[in-house]
Amino acid sequence: MNSFNIALIGPGKVAHLHAKAVREVPEAQLTAIYGRNLAKADAFAGQYGIRAYDDVGQMVEREKIDLCIVCTPHPAHREVTVVALEAGANVLVEKPLASNLADCDAMIDAARRSGRQLGTISQRRLYPPSLRIREAIDSGKIGVPALGIVQLLGWRSEEYYRSDPWRGSWAGEGGGVLVNQAPHQLDLLLWYMGEPEEVYGIWRNINHPYIEVDDTAVAIVKFKNGGVANLVVSNSQKPGLFGKVHIHGSNGASVGVQTDGGSMFIAGMTTVADAPYNDIWSVEGETDRVAQWKADDTDLFHRVDPMTHFFALQIKDFCEALRDNRTPAVTHEDGRRVVALIEAIYESTRTGLPVRMG
């Protein structure tokens, strides 16, 4: 079995989860960490017995890095990703792929020029209840996906926004709930519904006056297959309610997943609260299986560390894709599609008009 040297880029809170996740992947070894502040990178490296660098290209070349996992704030994704790709590493980027489409396209172009793989983290795809929905769609159990509904009703406190200097600003974060919390659910929606055609959206800041970005957004999405979707995403419901993605099919059957429940997970600050489960399932002949699925999914949730297990599954898939010369489970095209939807909602708010996509 091939062994892959992995480096992390950005020694922040989520990097600790990826460091632990890498150690759950037999074919991978954590080798190095990059940070603009070498002192912080050194402190991180000391915790994991790896080497610290303040030069991405030098790190990739000296350590013979096969894969870099980018854990920096969103607006910084482009620069470090392009350098890593040009130095010869493959790159897996924490969601979202970037904070705008121009950065996404520069990163994708660098991957094509270098002949390296580029992917984006979306580990909620690998939740068992999320995979059941994909299988139900693929096998025709709900007909054509006709109506999608996303609800993400969470909470972020002032303490959260003050925890890192880049949070809550356009320059530092690239946006608010759409860019930081919603990409997981938006990715699932697009994975299930297909290519979007047109978006009308509005964002607001309801109860976080100390930030300049969105804490709430709503949108209507039209898809090329004729389907439609509605999304409501918000960080303004204290202490947090749930995150859900529901897909209703043309034959009348409905499937859904609650990806997040209660007080939402915050990297480095809280743990995952509730096990994900299929909260809606009306596929003919399968309704009596839902209780057992929930029991099985809850059992898995308690047998693993849910904060790292699904990261590890995606890292493992990416390494296997490199080894087998195949496409990874979540591609850079998937990541770009999410950013395009987010950017369209921001543009629609600016103009007051629907935005055509693709």
pLDDT in tens, 193-250: 999 999 999 999 999 999 999 999 999 999 999 999 999 999 999 999 999 999 999 9
Distances (CA, A) of 232 to 201, 216, 270, 314, 345: 10, 8, 23, 27, 12
Distance CA 123, CA 169 (A): 26
Which pLDDT belongs to residue 273? 67
User: Domains in the chain, please, with CATH?
Assistant: 4-120 (3.40.50.720), 125-304+335-351 (3.30.360.10)
With a pLDDT cut of 70, the percent of the chain lying above it is 96
Whether 269 has a pLDDT exceeding 80, the answer reads no
pLDDT confidence tier of residue 76, bands split at 50, 70 and 90? very high
Q: Please tell me which residue, 143 or 269, carries the higher pLDDT value.
A: 143
pLDDT of the residue at 266: 57
pLDDT digits (tens, 9 = 90+) for 81-135: 999 999 999 999 999 999 999 999 999 999 999 999 999 999 999 999 999 999 9
CA torsion through residues 123, 129, 130, 131, sign: positive
**Sequence letter at residue 174:** G
Q: What is the pTM of this model?
A: 0.96
Q: What's the pLDDT score for residue 4?
A: 98
Rounded mean pLDDT of 140-167? 96
DSSP letter assigned to residue 325: T
User: In this predicted structure, what is the pLDDT of residue 262?
Assistant: 75
| Cβ count within 10 A of residue 108 | 20
Instruction: Judge whether residue 272 has pLDDT over 70.
Output: no
pLDDT score at 120: 98
For position 294, what pLDDT does the model report? 97
Burial 295-332 (b: 16+ CB within 10 A, else e): eebeeebeeebbbbbbbbbbbbbbbbbbeeeeebbbbb
Q: Compute the chain's Rg from CA coordinates.
A: 20
Q: How confident is the model at residue 264 (pLDDT cuts 50, 70, 90)?
A: low
Distance CA 73, CA 95 (A): 10
Looking at residue 160, its pLDDT comes to 93
When pLDDT is cut at 50, 70 and 90, the band that residue 267 belongs to is low
Mean pLDDT of the chain: 95
- CA 179-185-186 angle, to 5 degrees, is 65
Look at residue 65 and tell me whether its pLDDT is greater than 50.
yes
Please tell me the predicted confidence (pLDDT) of residue 1: 45
H/E element, 289 = none
- pLDDT band for 274, please (50, 70, 90 cuts): confident
Query: Residue 273 has what DSSP assignment?
Result: -
Going by C-alpha positions, the residue among 226, 152, 149 that lies closest to residue 195 is: 226
**DSSP string of 332-349, one letter each residue:** HHHHHHHHHHHHHHHHHH
Percent of the chain with pLDDT over 90: 95
CA distances from 260 to 29, 83, 134, 149, 279 (A): 30, 35, 18, 15, 11
Dist. CA 201–CA 218, nearest whole Å: 6
Q: In which band, very low, low, confident or very high, does the pLDDT at 271 lie, cut at 50, 70 and 90?
A: low
Mean pLDDT (whole number) for 182-195: 98
Taking Cα atoms as reference points, which of 108, 93, 104 lies closest to residue 18?
Answer: 93
- Given a cut of 70, whether residue 319 has pLDDT beyond it is yes
pLDDT at 268 > cutoff 90: no
Query: Does the structure show a pLDDT above 80 at 49?
Result: yes
Tokens 């047998």 sit at which residue? 303
The better pLDDT of the pair 272, 339 is held by: 339
Q: In this structure, what are the phi and psi dihedrals at residue 189, rounded to the nearest 5 degrees?
A: -55, -50
